[in-house]
Amino acid sequence: MANVRALAAKTLFQVVDKGQSLTAQLPYASQKLPVKDRALLQQMCYGVLRYLPSLENYCQQLLDQPLRGKRRVFQFLLYVGIYQLQHMRVPAHAAVAETVNALKSLGAPGMKGLVNAVLRNFQRQQATLEQSANEIVVCQYNHPSWFIKKLQAAYPDKWTDILEENQLQAPMWLRVNQRQTDTNTYAKQLDQADIDYTLDESHPDGILLDHPVDVTKLPGFSTGASSVQDAAAQMAARLLSPKDGDNILDACAAPGGKTCHILELADSQVTALDADEKRLERVTDNLNRLSLTAQCVHGLADEPDNWWQGEQFDRILLDVPCSATGVIRRHPDIKWLRRAADIDELAKLQAKILDNIWPLLKSGGTLVYATCSVLPEENHQQINAFLSRTEDAKHIALHAQDKVEQPGLQLLPGITDGFYYAKLQKL
């Protein structure tokens, strides 16, 4: 049987050192474990990624030199061990013993003395180590310095709030399928299932669960009564305002939550476009569970000549590739996979997609631009630049402060994820 701590160390090595996505690596590792251990694996991987700079700093103090080369995976095992001691409810003696025991699975019983000594020394020196790490900004906030600086510039009064939210577990929101039932009726079904929740009038299709639950426990989930989707993402379809008979493009559609939501709200003809053929399969899976139909198309949003059939769209949802800095709490590996240089490259791609998709929109049609980013370069600066170079694009205000100079709606991580929306009309 695979050892959960050994698997956590291997998974973290693949993410941090090899640049692999945790979303891809975690399911692969989980299948090697009994169901009861899978949540523990996720908790350890998420936790180490949330506190990586601090864990690295502690090991710098506790090791004569970092473990490199073939021994690099043991460095991550130390992070797993220290994370348990510092942040988990595992009894300290069990955390140390089980982490040392993981070396059998990693084929390195000879490392037991070192791993045991480091973890014991962390226990003895914990208060001092934490105090010294807290004097380093990157360790204090456990985010890369380039990102901290960008937030300080963009949100001088709120940057610490964003960083603190990123360290918390994300809330679980449901989207009620209005084709099957209404939100209040579904809420009563949750009452009967003893699932606690909160209703929020500003999100008419949404229900916020007090605690995350397994989807198999949700009433009617398998037959499409509800879906898991953050309230910020639920705003996309509502802002698009689909009407029966509309021809709609959902560009960059995978995994399909927004595609399905559009179809739940109106009898529209929807084209779901995505560049990733594998992820398009998830769009199909979601459509099938909800008994909905859309045309799924594999293609690049910035190269419509390769897939567009020539008929213009009434409405376009443009959920562009972005830094995903608004959903770090759901994907803590983003902090270590993203680089400062990526933001400029993403902004160029977003501009290209906007310019190349705009001709596909009918005169009088609506385009909703969306990102799950908190960075101005991808959001209001991007839309402001597009408006300045596009004569037939009209800005539609989404709230009282939504001005052409700083257009759109910026949501920061909190009760919802961090998202940005801008609404444009073609003259």
In the annotated binding site, the residues are 252-258, 274, 319
- Rounded CA-CA distance 162/334 in Å is 15
Kindly report the three-state secondary structure assignment for every residue of the chain: CCCHHHHHHHHHHHHHCCCCCHHHHHHHHHCCCCHHHHHHHHHHHHHHHHCHHHHHHHHHHHCCCCCCHHHHHHHHHHHHHHHHHHHCCCCHHHHHHHHHHHHHHCCCHHHHHHHHHHHHHHHHHHHHHHHHHCCCHHHHHCCCHHHHHHHHHHCCCCHHHHHHHHCCCCCEEEEECCCCCCHHHHHHHHHHCCCCEEECCCCCCEEEECCCCCHHHCCCHHHCCEEECCHHHHHHHHHHCCCCCCEEEEECCCCCHHHHHHHHHCCCEEEEEECCHHHHHHHHHHHHHCCCCCEEEECCCCCHHHCCCCCCEEEEEEECCCCCCCCCCCCCCHHHHCCHHHHHHHHHHHHHHHHHHHHHEEEEEEEEEEECCCCHHHCHHHHHHHHHHCCCEEEECCCCCCECCECCEEECCCCCCCEEEEEEEEC
- Rounded CA-CA distance 98/81 in Å is 9
Cβ neighbours of 376 (radius 10 Å): 18
- Rounded CA-CA distance 206/230 in Å is 8
Question: How do 295-298 and 269-274 pair as beta strands?
Answer: parallel
Active site residue 372: yes
Catalytic residue (choose from 59, 260, 322, 372): 372
Cβ neighbors of 214 (< 8 A, separation 6 or more) are: none
- Rounded CA-CA distance 299/291 in Å is 24
- Closest to 174 measured CA to CA, from 154, 162, 189: 189
**For the chain, how many residues are written?**
427
Tell me the binding residues for S-adenosyl-L-methionine: 252-258, 274, 319
Instruction: Name the residues annotated as catalytic.
Output: 372
